[in-house]
Amino acid sequence: MTSVTAIAEQVVLGALLDGADDDYLQLAASALAPAAFDAPAHQRVFQTVCDLFLEGTPVGLGSVHEHLEKSGRLGDVGGYPALTGLLNAVLTEPASAPHTYLAQLGDQFLARTRANDLRLVADQLGSSLTVDQARERVEELFAAPSLTSAALPDINEQMVAVHEAFHERRNGERRLIGVPTGWDDLDGAEHMNRQLVGGLRPGYFVLLAARPGAGKTVALCDWARAAARAGKGVYFASTEMTATELLGRFVVSLCSTVTVDTYLNKPWELSTTQIEQVENAMAEIAGWDMVIDDQANDVPHIARHAAAARAKFRSTGSDLHVIYQDYQQILQDPPGEQSQSNYVRASRNSTRSKLLAKKMEVPFVSAVQLGRDAIDRAPRLDDLKESGQYEQDADLVVALERPYATDPHSAQERGILSSDLTIHGLKFRHGMAGWEFRRDFIGEFMRTIPPSAGSRSQILAETASPPPQPEPPMQQPLGSDWGA
């Protein structure tokens, strides 16, 4: 069994276990048979699906599991984990994949059937069949078009969808489409004249780039928090931090007066009001559609667990809308694969991330480090560390520039504060790039905020620690490196 056939079998069965509509179920039952599947376990699952279908019992994960358990056949298919594995397989694929793979399996099965029919015609030719009768029989065998040709997309239907989407965008000027970032300049807002991106769309591979210490994690938390508060299903592959560490930063980001230092290191100093803020933040986060996976360290792992997150969200009436990952260069090779260099590993993971976004039809947003060179200028695309493949694969590259984080002495000499943050649009495959806008970086509160006409920056300037000196060791400047 080839890998493509194995995937096709898993996706088709997964779609049936996911409660496919009656049309798909009827097509599968008519085009396939248990013999169409190579894996014996898959044959048994499909036979169970057909049995339930003929009985008039709704087909789904629960009914198939119950039927196999009652018949004593559950162990033959690998148990309940194997069934959920089939269900997860379909959740990583595009919406069209079940029909495409069903057509592929159906045509393979039909080809084997037709080969047997042709052998029978050949055996009968010259005895019970004349040449003309054999020709007529062969023409009948291949009169119907293949399922694959019937499943190919129709350009007229595609254009109808494009037409509807175009007029939806045209009639909803500056309306957010996709997943919000919480940054008005990117998302667009009613009071603004521009909308640089308009939301993170399905299939986008987005890089949130920054030099070390500039605040990429704070910015990523900004975006993930905005998505969750908008009711979007969020899967966060926390490659760098534990789930507890990341959740603590989300808690602080929702508190108005609690700093991350106090929350993590001196919680006994919190006032009654601040404790109430923490409790309220924890209660809100507990209600988010969010999965934080701190065991993810390669893209296939992220794919499997994002599929499981999608199943989890769908069970409560939601769905998976976005994947976040921190950060790209820390992703490893999949088990059994060893890249010859960091460049090759980074390039492969970049392409895997883009393909995963396309397959699952969600934006995949990943932090990425910029090189430490040329800290005295704005970031550029060629500063992306490790691999030029990032530049090729990404749909959107947003870079953070915070001079105080990379060179505090020079920044202070130029009057730049620790909160000064410039956002650069280095690449946007679906629109204009080269833009920039400002935000205030409030690292000790784990968030960024819109520029406040100097009021917030002035407060930080008055309360910031002195600039670091070579000796003694540098004191933590306010808002500089938290969550970087």
Q: What is the pLDDT of residues 72-86, one digit of tens each?
A: 999 999 999 999 889
* Cα–Cα distance for residue pair 262/405, rounded to 1 Å: 21
DSSP, residue by residue, 62-91: HHHHHHHHHTT-GGGGTHHHHHHHHHHHHH
Question: If we measure between CA atoms, which residue out of 207, 221, 225 comes closest to residue 329?
Answer: 207
Using DSSP's 3-state secondary structure scheme, residue 385 falls into coil
Q: What's residue 476's pLDDT?
A: 41
Q: Which has more pLDDT, 314 or 284?
A: 284
Using DSSP's 3-state secondary structure scheme, residue 179 falls into strand
DSSP, residue by residue, 287-310: TS-EEEETT--SHHHHHHHHHHHH
Show Cβ contacts of residue 62 under 8 Å, excluding neighbours closer than 6 positions: none
Q: Are 346 and 329 in contact (CB under 8 A)?
A: yes
For β-strands 396-401 and 205-210, DSSP reports them as parallel
Highest average pLDDT, of 52-61, 84-93, 127-136, comes from 52-61
Q: Are 484 and 422 in contact (CB under 8 A)?
A: no
Q: Which two tokens stand for residue 55?
A: 């009985």
Q: Does residue 134 register a pLDDT over 90?
A: no
The percentage of residues in the chain with a pLDDT greater than 70, rounded to a whole number, is 88
Question: If we measure between CA atoms, which residue out of 461, 400, 444 comes closest to residue 452?
Answer: 461
Show Cβ contacts of residue 361 under 8 Å, excluding neighbours closer than 6 positions: 94, 95, 202, 203
Q: Are 386 and 407 in contact (CB under 8 A)?
A: no
CB atoms within 10 A of CB 464: 18
What angle, rounded to 10 degrees, do the helices at 342-360 and 299-314 form?
20
Mean pLDDT of 260-267: 93
> pLDDT grade, residue 193 (50/70/90)?
low
Q: What's residue 351's pLDDT?
A: 93
Q: Are 302 and 88 in contact (CB under 8 A)?
A: no
Q: What's residue 349's pLDDT?
A: 93
The percentage of residues in the chain with a pLDDT greater than 90, rounded to a whole number, is 45
pLDDT digits (tens, 9 = 90+) for 359-408: 899 999 999 988 877 677 888 888 887 778 888 999 999 999 998 888 88
> pLDDT grade, residue 185 (50/70/90)?
confident
pLDDT digits (tens, 9 = 90+) for 403-439: 888 888 888 888 888 889 999 999 999 888 899 999 9
Mean pLDDT of 100-109: 90
> pLDDT grade, residue 483 (50/70/90)?
very low
Q: Are 93 and 11 in contact (CB under 8 A)?
A: yes
CATH architecture of 3-151: Orthogonal Bundle (1.10)
Q: Which of 19-23, 47-51, 355-359, 363-367 has the least mean pLDDT? A: 19-23
Q: Does residue 11 register a pLDDT over 70?
A: yes
Q: What's residue 466's pLDDT?
A: 40
What are the residues facing 447 on neighbouring strands? Answer: 442
Question: Cis (ω within 30 of 0) for the bond into 472?
Answer: yes
* Cα–Cα distance for residue pair 286/282, rounded to 1 Å: 6
For β-strands 436-442 and 420-428, DSSP reports them as antiparallel
Mean pLDDT of 342-357: 92
Backbone angles phi, psi at 323, to 5 degrees: -115, 130
Q: What's residue 477's pLDDT?
A: 39
Angle 481-327-467 from CA coordinates, rounded to 5°: 15
Question: If we measure between CA atoms, which residue out of 367, 342, 349, 338 comes closest to residue 237?
Answer: 367
Q: Could you tell me the residue ranges of all domains in the chain?
A: 3-151, 184-463
pLDDT digits (tens, 9 = 90+) for 444-460: 999 999 986 444 444 44
pLDDT digits (tens, 9 = 90+) for 318-340: 999 999 998 888 899 888 888 88
* Cα–Cα distance for residue pair 226/58, rounded to 1 Å: 38
Mean pLDDT of the chain: 85
Angle 36-40-44 from CA coordinates, rounded to 5°: 80
Mean pLDDT of 195-219: 89
Using DSSP's 3-state secondary structure scheme, residue 437 falls into strand
Q: Which two tokens stand for residue 137?
A: 């029989």
pTM over 0.85: no
Q: What's residue 445's pLDDT?
A: 94
How far is CA 437 from each of CA 195, 204, 420, 422, 451, rounded to the nearest angstrom? Answer: 12, 21, 11, 6, 9
Assigned CATH class of 184-463: alpha beta
pLDDT digits (tens, 9 = 90+) for 166-179: 777 677 555 677 89
Q: What's residue 469's pLDDT?
A: 41
Show Cβ contacts of residue 405 under 8 Å, excluding neighbours closer than 6 positions: 211, 213, 214, 215, 418, 480, 481, 484
pLDDT digits (tens, 9 = 90+) for 293-305: 998 889 999 998 9
Q: Does residue 38 register a pLDDT over 80?
A: yes
Q: What's residue 407's pLDDT?
A: 84
